[in-house]
Structure 1
């Protein structure tokens, strides 16, 4: 089951996106609707709200006066935090109930306005942010009858656009009208969401393109790593000694294949095997593998690892689970840090990559062709640099 979170500031157009996703076949769960459901009369949530805020937040017929409650909480951050402490756990519990009742092949979209604020993003396979300029949002809210002062207060009470972007995998810009926004949603559905769901159902990671292609260093690579790392931390907990961005996409300015390499350091690979099911539910699938041995460590057993990928076709990743203090674990960190610190080494490696890429056409052939360079250049030079600078692998 693919679990998608949809967020966006008030007036950004999130409801339009949710409606289009529903039309395309998604099962949409609306957090705003659930927030009303869990504090409806005769519920535990209703009783908790009245206990905290008193009878002044009731209408004449005994229902919750949401407008009066909004006045209180939007003018008092502590009061807002107390209301959220009542509502949010109940909304999450109800959302889980609704999700668990759906079939395994469902694509579930949870409409969560406060996704960034509540830290729920790592619990979803894909997070989508709908964004629009502040003034355009104010115009839309005015059309709904919300006074400008109230609209500004509500906008400022939510996460900023930057904070939402940091939490999300996809940003949909709502600038050019409803038709264009719906078109972008349809493209996202066809090109990313449906293939992602199919990969999950089949229990497979999205493979890297076999056609070799380098791209220029991308400022988005570190954020893509952080999104994946957060999902891995959620599954692995303390079993992950550390999670690092490694490989060429971890080195600013270095051209690379558009694949995020992640190293997860573990005490033993058996831990990874016991968590195989949980990793699969989070979208990570893999197998046993080994790195190519280096001259000082010729025993293949020293280079054993678990090699996983992610099911998202829009964020292709290679996840290398390696035991702590193994030669492969150490070298992945050493090579990255050497590349980051030594401009000449970076230039040499980029040139070597270019020469090899001119000789081969596939990513598999390229990976094989690189090994002699690592044996004769990368491994000895990186280790000399470590000895000269006193570098050592970080422990945690």
Structure 2
């Protein structure tokens, strides 16, 4: 089951996107609708709200007076936090209940206005933000009957666009007409959401393209890493001793394949095997693999790891689970830090990558051709740099 979170500020057009996704086949769960449901008359949620804020928040017929409640909490952060502590857990529980009753191959989209504020993003396979310029949002809210002052207060009470981008995998821009927005949503459904769901159903990761292609260093790479790392942390908790961005995409300014390499340090690889099912539920699938041994550590068993990928075709990743203090774990961190610190080393590696890529027929061929460079250049030079600078692999 693919779980997607949809978020956006008031007036950005989130509901329009949700409606289009529903039309395309998604099962949409509206957090705003659930927030009303859990405080409906005769519910435990409404009783909890009245217990905290008093009968003044009730109408004559015993239902929740939303205007009265808003006047109590809108300008008071502590009161708002208390209300959220009552409502949010009940909304999440109801959303889980609905989700559990859907078919296993469903694509579930949860419309969550406060995704960034509530820290729920790592629990979803894919997070989508809808954005629109502030003035355009104000115009839309005015058309709904809100005064400019009230609309501004509501916008400013929510997370900013930047804060939502920090937790979302992609952004839909809703500054154009409805047709254009729906066209983008349909493309997203066809090119990313449906293949993602199929990968989950077949329990497979999206593999890197065999056609070798380098791209310029992308400032989005660190954000893509953080989104994946947050999902891994949610699954593994403290069993993941460290989660690090490694490889070429972790070095600013270095051209690379558009694939995020992540190293997860664990005490033992058996821990990873114990988490295999939970990792699969989160979209990570893998197998046993061995890194290529280096001269001082010729025993191939010393280089065992668990090699996983992610099921999202829009964020191809390679996750290397390695045990702490193993030569592979140490080298991945050392090599990255050496390239970050040494401009000459970066230039040499970039040149070597270019030469080897020109001779390679595929990404696999390129990876095989690169191993001798690591043996004769990367490994000894990085180790000399580590000795000269007293570099040590961080423990936690």
What TM-score do the two structures reach when normalised by structure 1?
Answer: 0.99
Alpha-carbon distance, 1:299 to partner: 0.1
Structure-2 residue corresponding to 1:199: 199
Task: State how 1:303-342 maps to structure 2 within 5 Å.
Answer: 303-342=303-342
Equivalent-residue separation in structure 2 for 1:76 and 1:384 (angstroms): 58
Structure-2 residue corresponding to 1:367: 367
Equivalent-residue separation in structure 1 for 2:323 and 2:233 (angstroms): 16
Task: State how 1:218-257 maps to structure 2 within 5 Å.
Answer: 218-257=218-257
**Structure 2 spans left out of the alignment, 5+ residues:** none
Alpha-carbon distance, 1:71 to partner: 2.0
Structure-2 residue corresponding to 1:259: 259
Structure-2 residue corresponding to 1:285: 285
Q: Secondary structure at the match of 2:227?
A: helix
Structure-2 residue corresponding to 1:76: 76
Alpha-carbon distance, 1:245 to partner: 0.1
Equivalent-residue separation in structure 1 for 2:258 and 2:361 (angstroms): 16
Equivalent-residue separation in structure 1 for 2:58 and 2:134 (angstroms): 33
Q: Secondary structure at the match of 2:64?
A: coil
Equivalent-residue separation in structure 1 for 2:387 and 2:110 (angstroms): 51
Equivalent-residue separation in structure 1 for 2:78 and 2:178 (angstroms): 37
Equivalent-residue separation in structure 2 for 1:202 and 1:12 (angstroms): 35
Task: State how 1:30-69 maps to structure 2 within 5 Å.
Answer: 30-69=30-69
Task: State how 1:156-171 maps to structure 2 within 5 Å.
Answer: 156-171=156-171
Q: Secondary structure at the match of 1:227?
A: helix
Equivalent-residue separation in structure 1 for 2:254 and 2:152 (angstroms): 43
Alpha-carbon distance, 1:386 to partner: 0.3
Equivalent-residue separation in structure 2 for 1:348 and 1:365 (angstroms): 20
Size of the aligned set, in residue pairs, is 396
Structure-1 residue corresponding to 2:91: 91
Q: Secondary structure at the match of 2:288?
A: strand
Alpha-carbon distance, 1:297 to partner: 0.2
Alpha-carbon distance, 1:361 to partner: 2.2
Task: State how 1:114-125 maps to structure 2 within 5 Å.
Answer: 114-125=114-125
Equivalent-residue separation in structure 1 for 2:395 and 2:75 (angstroms): 46
Structure-1 residue corresponding to 2:188: 188
**Structure 1 spans left out of the alignment, 5+ residues:** none
Equivalent-residue separation in structure 2 for 1:59 and 1:149 (angstroms): 26
Structure-1 residue corresponding to 2:209: 209
Q: For 1:226-257, what per-residue CA distance to the aligned partner results, in whole angstroms no more than 9, with x for missing partners?
A: 00000000001111010000000000000000
Structure-2 residue corresponding to 1:12: 12
Equivalent-residue separation in structure 1 for 2:101 and 2:62 (angstroms): 32
Equivalent-residue separation in structure 2 for 1:361 and 1:253 (angstroms): 25
Equivalent-residue separation in structure 1 for 2:52 and 2:133 (angstroms): 36
Equivalent-residue separation in structure 2 for 1:190 and 1:92 (angstroms): 28
Alpha-carbon distance, 1:177 to partner: 1.4
Alpha-carbon distance, 1:53 to partner: 1.1
Q: Secondary structure at the match of 2:287?
A: strand
